[in-house]
């Protein structure tokens, strides 16, 4: 988030009126509290009603009334943004759609959409709408999320979800009462709302159709954090002969197609990568003087090989000597 954009806003629970009389004022206010973008309106002019505040734990909250409008956040708008914030849109009334990473997410009264702040997106309002918007660090939204949710992806939580209904009730009943809460209670209430939103996001991701998940995974296949998670898991289970693509996918909570895509993005394949890592580990074991009592066959099995002859052939092809020849030379 741009540090200077919202520094003059009061902290919750106070909500400050933002200039919104006319297209230019509305655009500037949305630029400041959400993300820079272009504001379009069918009649050439627009107005709205915006109130905003800073969250005590980091981020911004706004209540917004908008007409038939479209907000476009192109790459030029978001390329300079720092951090990895997520934009949460709670539709108290109205309907529209959010588009990001090739996914169009229609929303209606009660739905909640999630999208990444520093990725190009379009938010379209199809009828007069009352919205609650939050922009906050993704790490704050999913503080205790599983590793497979380390990167924000666009999603929608349906109004029929029990979690989403709870969030709506919280916003309708607790949010207006924030102004009367004690200073000690406000941060706790804020954390409760964000925890509920995080749970709704996780539920939405898990319930998304398999094809949707795979499309989002494919778009995220060059994610260096995902690659790090994958290689860390493989390193920890390398000696398990049952290690395979399916077990990697289960550990990361992704599809096998996504695992293959990750390897493709790094210019290799699963089988080649795992074989090379096992050979490197076996090479270290054979050179280790504390493992002289172990047979070559047991070292092969220890490093995930099911067949000693196959291991010997692969070792020679990789290092130019058989395991026995290498061990003999290493002990001189």
Cα atoms in the 13 Å half-sphere on the side-chain side of 105? 29
Given a cut of 70, is residue 141 above it in pLDDT?
Answer: yes
Contacts of 301 (CB under 8 A, 6+ apart): 241, 308
pLDDT at position 115: 93
Token couple for 330: 């290493």
Q: Are residues 316 and 194 in the same domain?
A: no
Last residue of a domain, one of 208, 233, 253: 208
Q: Are residues 203 and 230 in the same domain?
A: no
pLDDT at position 2: 43
Q: Considering its fold, how many domains does the chain have in total?
A: 2
How does pLDDT run across 235-293, given as a tens digit for each residue?
999 988 889 999 998 888 888 888 888 888 777 899 999 999 999 999 999 999 889 88
Task: Establish if 6 belongs to a structural domain.
Answer: no
Contact 270, 245 (CB under 8 A): yes
CA dist 78 and 55 (Å) reads 22
Last residue of a domain, one of 208, 242, 269: 208
Sign for the pseudo-dihedral over CA of 34, 35, 40, 45: positive
Last residue of a domain, one of 208, 243, 259: 208
Average pLDDT over residues 44-60: 84
Task: Establish if 7 belongs to a structural domain.
Answer: no
The CATH number assigned to the domain holding 273 equals 1.10.10.60
Per the confidence metrics, is the pTM higher than 0.75?
no
Q: Are residues 197 and 237 in the same domain?
A: no
Average pLDDT of the chain to the nearest whole number: 85
Task: Find out whether the peptide bond into 13 is cis, omega within 30 degrees of 0.
Answer: yes
Given a cut of 50, is residue 161 above it in pLDDT?
Answer: yes
Token couple for 166: 């709870």
pLDDT at position 91: 97
The domain containing residue 120 runs over which residues? 16-208
pLDDT at position 330: 83
Q: Are residues 118 and 204 in the same domain?
A: yes
Can you list the alpha helix ranges (DSSP code H) found in the chain? Answer: 23-33, 75-78, 138-141, 162-173, 185-207, 210-219, 224-237, 245-252, 256-265, 270-287, 296-302, 308-319, 323-330
The CATH number assigned to the domain holding 35 equals 2.60.120.10
Task: Establish if 268 belongs to a structural domain.
Answer: yes
Q: Are residues 160 and 256 in the same domain?
A: no
């Amino acid at each position: 988030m741009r540090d200077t954009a919202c520094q003059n806003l009061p902290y919750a629970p106070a909500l400050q009126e933002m200039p919104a009389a006319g297209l230019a004022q509305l655009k500037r206010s949305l630029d400041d509290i959400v993300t820079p973008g272009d504001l379009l309106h069918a009649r050439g002019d627009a107005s709205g009603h915006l109130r905003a505040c800073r969250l005590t734990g980091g981020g911004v909250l706004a209540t917004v009334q908008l007409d038939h409008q479209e907000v476009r956040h192109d790459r030029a708008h978001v390329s300079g943004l720092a951090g990895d914030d997520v934009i949460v849109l709670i539709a108290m009334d109205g309907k529209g759609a959010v588009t990001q990473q090739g996914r169009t997410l229609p929303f209606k009264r009660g739905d909640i959409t999630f999208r990444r702040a520093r990725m190009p997106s379009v938010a379209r309002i199809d009828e007069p709408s009352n919205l609650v918007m939050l922009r906050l660090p993704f790490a704050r939204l999913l503080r205790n999320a599983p590793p497979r949710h380390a990167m924000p992806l666009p999603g929608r939580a349906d109004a029929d979800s029990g979690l989403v209904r709870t969030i709506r009730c919280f916003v309708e009943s607790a949010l207006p009462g924030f102004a009367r809460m004690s200073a000690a209670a406000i941060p706790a209430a804020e954390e409760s709302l964000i925890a509920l939103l995080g749970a709704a996001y996780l539920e939405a991701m898990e319930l998304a159709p398999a094809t949707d998940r795979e499309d989002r995974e494919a778009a995220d296949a060059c994610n260096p954090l995902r690659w790090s998670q994958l290689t860390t898991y493989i390193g920890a289970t390398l000696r398990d002969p049952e290690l395979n693509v399916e077990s990697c996918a289960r550990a990361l909570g992704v599809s096998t197609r996504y695992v293959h895509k990750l390897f493709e993005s790094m210019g290799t394949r699963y089988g080649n990568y795992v074989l090379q890592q096992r050979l490197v580990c076996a090479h270290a074991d054979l050179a280790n003087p504390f493992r002289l009592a172990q047979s070559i066959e047991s070292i092969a099995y220890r490093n995930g090989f099911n067949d000693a002859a196959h291991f010997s052939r692969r070792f020679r092809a990789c290092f130019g000597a058989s395991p026995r020849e290498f061990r003999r030379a290493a002990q001189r």
